[in-house]
Amino acid sequence: MEKDFDREELIRKALEQQKKAYAPYSEFFVGAAVLMDSGKIYTGSNVENASFPAGCCAERTAIYHAVACGERKIRAIAIVGGRKGENRTYAAPCGVCRQVMREFCNPKEMTVILAKTPEDYREMKLEDLLPMSFGPEHLPGFGGKA
């Protein structure tokens, strides 16, 4: 894989953020670090709620933070997650998070890193996780022909 950014740093930031997750119901703690085109990194953790749909995933928390700060293009994201904070498997993003990522990137270019540790990770493009995706270019007035 290309080495155009520090993957280990991105994973370390996701791991740091995982410790701040609020997950009293599932006990599944997730941290995410998103690298924007500007070079800035924004982090997020999952936040659960007794009214389950009111919670938010770590990936969306990080992305929404970046967007709220004026960022618009995601370059890469690192995601870590595990029961009670023990990262025994690679935690893949849910479908909603994949669609939110899609809004702010070219899925053929955006790197998704699923990690257990800074040394143990899997890497793919968003297009691999969300094939045949729907994006802004499909809408009239936003580059679409519909």
Q: At what angle do helices 7-18 and 58-68 cross, to 10 degrees?
A: 110
- Annotated catalytic sites, by residue? 59
**What's the topology of domain 7-138?**
Cytidine Deaminase; domain 2 (3.40.140)
Q: How far apart are CA 123 and CA 102, in angstroms?
A: 17
pLDDT tens-digit readout, 10-60: 999 999 999 999 999 999 999 999 999 999 999 999 999 999 999 999 999
Q: What is the DSSP letter of 94?
A: P
Q: How far apart are CA 125 and CA 117, in angstroms?
A: 19
Domain definitions of the chain by residue range: 7-138
Q: What's the distance, Cα to Cα, between the start and end of the chain in Å?
A: 36
* Cα separation values, 10 from 27, 38, 53, 115, 143, Å: 23, 14, 28, 10, 32
Q: Are strands 121-125 and 111-115 parallel, antiparallel or unpaired?
A: antiparallel
pLDDT tens-digit readout, 122-140: 999 999 999 999 999 888 8
